[in-house]
Amino acid sequence: MGVAERKERHREDLKNEILQAAKSLFTEKGYEATSIRAIAEKIEYSPATIYLYYKDKNEIVHALHRDGFRLLVSHFEVLNTVSHPFERLKAMGRAYIQFAMQNPDVYKLLFIMEEPLKHVANCFEEWDEGDRAFDILRKTIIECQAEGYFKNMDNTLLAFTIWSTMHGLCTLKSSGHLGHVGVARANQWNLDELTAMAYETFVAMLERMKT
């Protein structure tokens, strides 16, 4: 009865091979510029074969979306070693920016594209990794409040605000908008320095939120 299992394993292998090919092409050429035909050529199968393993292009995107959130959560997990909550919060911000810069296409998939999110909304049964990442932030904020930070502030609202700032910073940077206005007005710094310093400006604001 090991035959069925071997075949099943082979199916899973090919499914994963498609995913890896798609991931590498998305990273190389971007989502819109990657065609099913290109993915098929990379794995040396016909385009129609892709559709035996994935319903459509969106399903491939969704699979990468799920993997992307796992990557982000694992990226955050090492920060559990930082015991002081406010230090951990500051490190989370830097880690978020780092993640966005190191994986721009994954970031796009997770937080910019609308299609993958719609798919998640239709899958009630499965636990959403995105929610988990948000709860990590919220939990850290609550711990900060126990240390005297952010008194009388709603933790969920503050989490939204902090997330917004991080997301805005990352997207304005990678879309080129920060570079466009930044080069002319702050030419003593390069783009990465500018991003880092804008974040430190925000941290300075958060630091004043004690008592």
Partner DNA sequence: ATAAAAAAATAAACACTGTTTAGTTTATTT
Partner DNA sequence: AAATAAACTAAACAGTGTTTATTTTTTTAT
Per CB under 7 A, contacts with DNA among 32-91 are 34-38, 44-49, 51-52, 56-58
Residue 56 partner contact from a second copy, DNA, none using kind-dependent CB cut-offs of 5 to 8 Å = DNA
Residue 175 partner contact from DNA, a second copy, none using kind-dependent CB cut-offs of 5 to 8 Å = a second copy
Over its C-alpha atoms, the chain yields an Rg (Å, rounded) of: 21
Shortest distance, position 56 Cβ to DNA, whole Å? 3
- Outline where the chain has alpha helix (H): 2-29, 36-43, 47-53, 57-77, 85-102, 104-111, 115-121, 129-146, 155-174, 177-185, 191-207
Q: How far apart are CA 127 and CA 129, in angstroms?
A: 6
- Indicate whether 7 belongs to the interface with DNA (CB under 7 A): yes
Can you tell me which of 111, 119, 126, 190 binds a second copy, judged by CB under 8 A? 111
| DSSP structural state of residue 128 | P
Do 51 and 58 contact (CB within 8 A), yes or no? no
Binding mask 31-70 for a second copy (x = CB under 8 A): -x--------------------------------------
Q: How far apart are CA 12 and CA 82, in angstroms?
A: 38
Q: How far apart are CA 55 and CA 64, in angstroms?
A: 14
Phi–psi pair at 44, nearest 5 degrees: 60, 45
Shortest distance, position 184 Cβ to a second copy, whole Å? 7
- Indicate whether 201 belongs to the interface with a second copy (CB under 8 A): yes
The residues with which 149 forms a beta bridge, in sequence order, are 210
Shortest distance, position 160 Cβ to DNA, whole Å? 33
Shortest distance, position 37 Cβ to a second copy, whole Å? 19
Query: Of 8-16, 50-58, 70-78, 198-206, which part binds a second copy (CB under 8 A)?
Result: 198-206
Phi–psi pair at 163, nearest 5 degrees: -60, -45
Q: Contact residues for a second copy (CB under 8 A)? A: 32, 111-114, 117-118, 120-121, 128, 130-131, 134, 138, 153-154, 156-158, 160-161, 163-169, 171-172, 175-178, 180-182, 184-186, 194, 197-198, 201-202, 204-206, 208-209
